[in-house]
Amino acid sequence: MTDPQARRRQRGAPGFNMTPMIDVVFLLIIFFMLVSQFASAENVPMDLPKPEQSQAVKTKLTDRVVVNCLLATPSAPDTSGVAYSVGPLRVASLDELSARLAAAKAANPRLQVVIRADRRLPYRAVHVVMEVVARHRIEVMNLVAHVGEGGR
């Protein structure tokens, strides 16, 4: 009778070779050491402005109005009309939307409008809102779009 371990060694039993894994670990260490050297070279020492000296203008919440263009009945998008809201508050018509934008513009001449629209809406439903914004001479208008995977 022979020893079972000796028999396994004679058959060439599979073993775990650590050499390739050690090679990969050393290559990763070298890579990260080099990258950290390049990253530190990009940080050029300079005198950065202090917040009280900053000339950046932070947009206040009162400087911006969000107009939402929604489907009136999302469960039936093909037959649904369009519903508008200013922030979370729904407006009954484009005339009411216009009145709210006029009041906001009178309160803040630097008013900015952000238009968010459901992608299932036709363009004309968003275009009428853009015309209302232009009629009140609001100079900054942003359209929000969600760019997801696969162009959706």
Instruction: Tell me the residue range of the domain where 25 lies.
Output: 14-42
Does any domain span residue 126? yes
For residues 35 and 79, state if they share a domain.
no
For residues 73 and 103, state if they share a domain.
yes
Region 106-117 average pLDDT = 89
Q: Report if pTM > 0.85.
A: no
For residues 31 and 104, state if they share a domain.
no
Q: How does residue 130 score in pLDDT terms, banded at 50, 70 and 90? A: very high
pLDDT at 121: 83
Contact 100, 87 (CB under 8 A): no
Q: Which residues of 89-125 are buried (b: 16+ CB within 10 A; e: fewer)?
A: eebeeeeebbebbeebbeeeeebbbebbbbeeeeeeb
Does any domain span residue 92? yes
Please state the φ and ψ torsions of residue 127, each to the nearest 5 degrees: -60, -35
Mean pLDDT of the chain: 78
For residues 86 and 138, state if they share a domain.
yes
The number of distinct structural domains making up the chain is 2
Does any domain span residue 32? yes
pLDDT above 70: residue 125: yes
Type and span of the H or E element at 117 = strand 112-117
Does any domain span residue 49? no
Does any domain span residue 108? yes
For residues 37 and 72, state if they share a domain.
no
pLDDT in tens, 50-96: 666 555 555 556 688 888 888 877 777 666 688 888 888 888 888 99
